[in-house]
Structure 1
Amino acid sequence: MAVKGIILADRVRGDKGLVLDPLTRKIYLELTVPGPEDNRGDVDRLVDALQPELEGTVTVPLELMFGLSAVLREGDWRVTATVGGMVPGVWNLVTVEPGDTTSRHFGLAVDIGTTTVVVYLVDMHDGRVLGTAADYNGQVVFGEDVLTRIYLSATPEGLRQLQEAVVQTLNGLIERLAAEHNILPAEISAVAVGANSTMVHLFLGLDPSRICMAPYIPVVNNPGLVPAGKLGLAVNPLAPVYCLPSVGSYLGGDIIGGVLASGMHRSPELSLFVDIGTNGEIVMGNRDWLVGCAGAAGPALEGGVVANGMRAEPGAVDSVSIDARTGQVHYTTIGGAPPAGICGSGLVDCLAEMLLAGIIDRAGRFKNGQREFVVVPARDSATGKDIVVTQVDIHNFMRTKGAVNAALELLVESVGCQLGDIRRFYAAGAFGHYLHLESAITIGLYPDLPREKMIRLGNASGEGARLVLLSGQKRREAESIARNITYFELNASQVFMNKFVGSKFLPHTNLDYFPTVKEKLMKRGLFAS
């Protein structure tokens, strides 16, 4: 299945300066052969050999003791031990293999999105991504939006179904990658996960119901390490699974991973990080301070609200242009397939073009009283029906855009900054990667900043997961980022609501916030200074 949104953050893919210290270590050992003068048990012999190689103590789970003697003798006392740190200073044995297998050291970096799940197979011996697989989150059959899934998870049976659905999705991707790269799933000895707070809870089988109720407190923000077998993952059952920490109910580990991947937390420059997906999540700051907030955004962008909306898959209209003189519409579809609907990037393009062509006004209303705009006529569509953007679609989108605008405006004002102070703007997520910047700025979804300051990160959550999979330093950085972000809860903010009302214009009530858009509108006679 072709699923968009699997691009890693190009900016950090080179791994310059990344010291490999992965979540698990493989250590080759040549053990002394037992005899009359050395009658230590097989487990004790292995632990004694491992101890000098590691800082801390080594524990051996009972399930590994059963077959250990046979493995040691099969390898003629030359074996490779894989260990992982579940508790600081304590190393758990994950597996023991005969011979030297240190060059076969595999892990997974995982991005669990509300809509899409992406898995990267990583060679932890050198840090390379060996392969990528993506699919739709199996939970979508229970509800496309987060709130529906939270409601379902209120019963033990519903929670079990949702946990099993995402694990089944992951296991299908794991088995596909293992087969493609000629490895056994049991050779995968570590997993790092980036996901929003609700997805982490559902993945771990934890009750997420309090995430959407005041005062919006999750069960856990930093779940630490969990053995893969407890979750049902089709990897080594003792492989440690690390979920990137969250800040709060609506600022999750996916955003922490994105901030980590951007490097903004180490820069003296003021940076802005935006990920518009199920929620519109924003983090602003530099190496000295970080602030963040989140607001509901995604439904109008993921196909569930728009009349002819669909996910970003083959046949989705993903770009639109309108000739202002003739009204002729030009569009492209994903994969060049016959148009079947319109995805988020196509919707943003269409709204920007309709504004600049004078089809809608700045309040998002059709000027001639029509109720919809035909993007693709029925004769050209795969469905045999017109593909349209309706007045209701525009109204729903205006709420999404307004929420992002208001959150950004509140964040900037709260720290005494101005948009002009921002030196770097990071657009994260699949939506941010494929979205046309000019269209996003034209309708006010992104701030009107110099374009050279704007950087697309692609799947920053997946890249953040890869970094913490490979580096203990990056894991400590991620946890430091989560601790140091000052989180603004918008659900109870009257200031946010006031700004939200003022933001429901294209691009904004105050056009001075968007000087390049103001200039475009004036040139086309759509706004008088």
Structure 2
Amino acid sequence: MILTGGVFREEIVLDPLTRKIYLELTEPGLEDNRADVDRLAAALEKLVGPVVVPLAAMRRIPTVLRDADWRVTVTVGAGAPGVWNLVDVEPGDTVKRHYGLAVDIGTTTVVVYLVNMHDGRIMGTAADYNGQVGLGEDILTRIYLAGTPGGLEQLQRAILDTLNGLIRRLTDEHGLTGGNISAVAVGANSTMVHLLLGLDPSRICMAPYIPVVNNPGLIPAGQLGLEINPLAPVYCLPSVGSYVGGDVIAGVLASGLHQQPELSLFVDIGTNGEIILGNRDWLVGCAGAAGPALEGGVAECGMRAEPGAIDSVSIDLESGKVRYTTIGGAPPMGICGSGLVDCLAELLLAGIVDRAGRFKDGRREFVVVPASESATGKDIVVTQVDINNLMRTKGAVNAALELLLESVGCDLSDISRFYAAGAFGQYLHLESAITIGLYPDLPRDKMVRLGNASGEGARLVLLSNRKRAEAEAIARNITYFELNANQVFMNKFVGSKFLPHTNLDYYPTVKAKLIERGLVEG
């Protein structure tokens, strides 16, 4: 069967993490008195090769075989190379009732897709805040908590509660039970994978930045506490290092850039700013803590992207009037990441801040929404401190990109396609991101929004063992640059905190706007 999936609608052959096989077995007798498990395993071996039968399945097999009159559907999952693991035995022909989950575990938000693995369709989607948010808004707080007595268990329970709640919501909506779910693929950053698996993440943030594991392989769901078939394989996409995680590998897989001859750039700005540069012949990558300035709660009036958050801002050049929109059209309560980026871009183009990001008139804040219009009864503002934080974020992305380009002897003009991944990349206004230098100044037709590339990559891996092998090859082939102790990066970072960049020639369309408005000389 052929499934259309991925950004470029690449056709993939369905070969999911688990397979369902209908069998009609001969009943045992005096002339054929093989054991029940041996009889089943022999029939399977003729079709798929060697199969390992876990003890938990052995206990059920005799009753199911006899109750089903020896007509059963067996689910097998990928195991050691060339070997399958038995996951389930069901009475009758249930081949078309074949379900799995593609999961994106973000630091803030978790998204679960219920996937029909028989035909590849996404049947339903459920999302919620990561339950760990209540224990720590940011990754560093959670890593610290994981090192305290009982902290790691608390964090693991929080993410499992979130996932199990979303699983129940989806299975209830579609008349299923958790036991009907026979496979899970997860896209997540390195820390989130560690916390899901109950692994100590403490060394991720300490030199030399070593995780416990980069590719944990296939783990039975029952060992984790997921409320699905306990023998269902759970696969976390591999990481490259502490800061280039499985969510990035999933995004590269979904984009297809690793198969293209042209040079492409992949950027995911979230909790970390992750950058991958390359093509089908080579890949380089790096990451740094670029995202905190864009997260709710970091800015003076910052909030998550939820109803009431200001998500776009414009400033009329003649009147100075501020126009804004909010998510859901709700009364403004605060400002989210895309609103912050919009606001800084507009402040630059209106001549209210200089290229160093400082208010020209010495003020300490800019009022986006006066108290009389806000839902909080207070002014919603962007402060000089907010701008300074955002300047550091965009400077880190600038510096990381420059370092990667120099390392491979390329420049921006060599890039044929730019991929913006993640929820932030989906809703961020490209022109504003380019104006402040967060994204490179490339032809707009070269820029592609991937949306939830982590979830899409997880779906591809769930549905194709070839894609799973592809993801692992991507991870192996990325040359990773550690930025935390890189002096070249630090030098570039110090010099990059100008709007949009120290060298305006890197941003020709922004330079033209600034010249047109008399803000810089031609």
Partner of 1:479: 472
Tell me if structure 1 keeps the 8 A contact 2:7–2:254. no
What's the % identity of the aligned pairs?
79
Q: CA deviation at 1:16?
A: 3.8
Number of aligned residue pairs: give it: 519
After superposition, what is the alpha-carbon deviation per residue over 1:399-457, rounded to whole angstroms, capped at 9, x for unaligned? 11110110001111110001000000000000000000000000000000000000000
Provide the rounded CA distance (Å) in 2 between the counterparts of 1:37 and 1:477: 47
Partner of 1:299: 292
Please say if 1:465 is aligned against 2:438: no
Secondary structure, counterpart of 1:385 in structure 2: coil
Distance 1:414 1:19, change over 3 A: same
Please say if 1:367 is aligned against 2:347: no
Provide the rounded CA distance (Å) in 2 between the counterparts of 1:14 and 1:412: 25
Q: CA deviation at 1:94?
A: 0.6
Please say if 1:234 is aligned against 2:227: yes
Partner of 1:397: 390
Partner of 1:24: 18
Q: CA deviation at 1:39?
A: 1.2
> Where do 5+ consecutive residues of structure 1 fail to align?
1-9
Please say if 1:66 is aligned against 2:59: yes
Secondary structure, counterpart of 2:11 in structure 1: coil
Tell me if structure 2 keeps the 8 A contact 1:11–1:457. no
Secondary structure, counterpart of 1:321 in structure 2: strand
Q: TM-score normalized by structure 2? A: 0.98
Provide the rounded CA distance (Å) in 2 between the counterparts of 1:227 and 1:418: 45
After superposition, what is the alpha-carbon deviation per residue over 1:466-522, rounded to whole angstroms, capped at 9, x for unaligned? 001000110111000000000001111111011001111110111011000000000
After superposition, what is the alpha-carbon deviation per residue over 1:45-102, rounded to whole angstroms, capped at 9, x for unaligned? 11111111113x1111111122221111121110000011221122111110000000
Tell me if structure 1 keeps the 8 A contact 2:5–2:12. no
- The letter of the residue matching 1:413 is E
- The letter of the residue matching 1:446 is Y
Provide the rounded CA distance (Å) in 2 between the counterparts of 1:395 and 1:435: 19
Provide the rounded CA distance (Å) in 1 between the counterparts of 2:359 and 2:303: 23
- The letter of the residue matching 1:76 is D
2:99 equivalent among 106, 113, 116? 106
Provide the rounded CA distance (Å) in 2 between the counterparts of 1:167 and 1:485: 30
1:426 equivalent among 410, 419, 424? 419
Over the aligned positions, Cα root-mean-square deviation in angstroms equals: 1.1
* Larger deviation, residues 146-155 vs 99-108: 146-155
Secondary structure, counterpart of 1:465 in structure 2: helix
Q: CA deviation at 1:367?
A: 1.0
For 1:124-523, what aligned pairs fall within 5 Å after superposition?
124-523=117-516
Q: TM-score normalized by structure 1? A: 0.97
Tell me if structure 2 keeps the 8 A contact 1:106–1:121. yes
Partner of 1:90: 83
Secondary structure, counterpart of 2:60 in structure 1: helix
Tell me if structure 2 keeps the 8 A contact 1:318–1:342. yes
> Where do 5+ consecutive residues of structure 2 fail to align?
none
* Larger deviation, residues 322-331 vs 33-42: 33-42
Tell me if structure 1 keeps the 8 A contact 2:146–2:155. yes
Q: CA deviation at 1:304?
A: 2.7
Provide the rounded CA distance (Å) in 2 between the counterparts of 1:122 and 1:83: 17
- The letter of the residue matching 1:45 is R
* Larger deviation, residues 207-216 vs 57-66: 57-66
- The letter of the residue matching 2:33 is N
After superposition, what is the alpha-carbon deviation per residue over 1:268-304, rounded to whole angstroms, capped at 9, x for unaligned? 0000000000000000000000000001111111113
Q: CA deviation at 1:190?
A: 0.2
Secondary structure, counterpart of 1:373 in structure 2: strand
Please say if 1:39 is aligned against 2:60: no
Provide the rounded CA distance (Å) in 2 between the counterparts of 1:13 and 1:226: 28
Q: CA deviation at 1:14?
A: 7.8
Provide the rounded CA distance (Å) in 1 between the counterparts of 2:281 and 2:214: 22
Provide the rounded CA distance (Å) in 2 between the counterparts of 1:372 and 1:140: 29
Provide the rounded CA distance (Å) in 1 between the counterparts of 2:392 and 2:443: 26
- The letter of the residue matching 1:208 is P
Secondary structure, counterpart of 2:79 in structure 1: strand
Secondary structure, counterpart of 1:278 in structure 2: coil
Provide the rounded CA distance (Å) in 2 between the counterparts of 1:28 and 1:382: 59
After superposition, what is the alpha-carbon deviation per residue over 1:235-285, rounded to whole angstroms, capped at 9, x for unaligned? 111000000000000000000000000000000000000000000000000
Tell me if structure 1 keeps the 8 A contact 2:399–2:489. yes
Provide the rounded CA distance (Å) in 2 between the counterparts of 1:11 and 1:372: 46
Provide the rounded CA distance (Å) in 1 between the counterparts of 2:220 and 2:319: 62
Provide the rounded CA distance (Å) in 1 between the counterparts of 2:163 and 2:408: 40
Secondary structure, counterpart of 1:291 in structure 2: strand
Provide the rounded CA distance (Å) in 1 between the counterparts of 2:56 and 2:253: 36
Tell me if structure 2 keeps the 8 A contact 1:372–1:388. yes
2:517 equivalent among 509, 524, 529? 524
Provide the rounded CA distance (Å) in 2 between the counterparts of 1:11 and 1:28: 27
Provide the rounded CA distance (Å) in 1 between the counterparts of 2:143 and 2:505: 40
Q: CA deviation at 1:11?
A: 7.3
Provide the rounded CA distance (Å) in 1 between the counterparts of 2:102 and 2:192: 15
Tell me if structure 1 keeps the 8 A contact 2:5–2:460. no
Provide the rounded CA distance (Å) in 1 between the counterparts of 2:343 and 2:249: 32
Secondary structure, counterpart of 2:360 in structure 1: coil
- The letter of the residue matching 1:126 is D
Question: Following superposition, which runs of at least 4 residues in structure 1 exceed 4 angstroms of deviation?
Answer: none
Provide the rounded CA distance (Å) in 2 between the counterparts of 1:520 and 1:460: 32
After superposition, what is the alpha-carbon deviation per residue over 1:315-335, rounded to whole angstroms, capped at 9, x for unaligned? 110011110111111111111
Provide the rounded CA distance (Å) in 2 between the counterparts of 1:262 and 1:274: 11
